[in-house]
């Protein structure tokens, strides 16, 4: 069977597309292994993205709805930098067992 130039170009294009999609899929799969479902690690990661100058006072899981997979985590944090000075409380929800999402946060009067 003789391959024409058009078939060779078409097959190489299809092979290129398959390689690109497989690389993107593997990259996405490898990125998800960095997601940590522990509340402490996720809260640490979130707070580090805002500021490096903080201290976590307490982390408490307040309510659990097992069938909905919703967990509310309360975190009291003390910030020392000018922008976030004072204590704040964060409420997190666990989304599809992948990671914690900040639902709301509020400043706590000292």
Tell me: the pLDDT tens digits for 35-89?
555 666 766 776 666 666 666 777 666 666 655 555 556 666 666 665 666 677 7
Confidence tier at 109 by pLDDT (50, 70, 90)? low
Write down the pTM of the prediction: 0.41
Domain definitions of the chain by residue range: 1-34, 39-108
Tell me: the pLDDT tens digits for 3-44?
788 888 999 999 999 999 998 888 776 655 555 556 667 667
The answer to whether residues 79 and 54 touch, using CB atoms and an 8 Å cutoff, is: yes
**Which segments of the chain does DSSP mark as H helices, in order?**
5-32, 39-50
**Both tokens assigned to 82:** 């000018």
- In this structure, the chain runs to a length of 110
């Amino acid at each position: 069977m003789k391959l024409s130039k058009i078939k060779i170009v078409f097959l190489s294009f299809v092979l290129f597309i398959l390689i690109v999609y497989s690389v993107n899929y593997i990259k996405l799969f490898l990125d998800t292994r960095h997601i940590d479902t522990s509340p402490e690690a996720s809260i640490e990661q979130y707070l580090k993205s805002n500021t490096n100058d903080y201290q976590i006072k307490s982390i408490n899981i307040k309510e659990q709805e097992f069938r909905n997979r919703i967990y509310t985590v309360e975190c009291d944090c003390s910030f020392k930098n000018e922008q976030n000075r004072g204590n704040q409380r964060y409420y997190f929800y666990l989304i599809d067992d992948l990671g914690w999402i900040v639902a709301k946060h509020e400043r706590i009067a000292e």
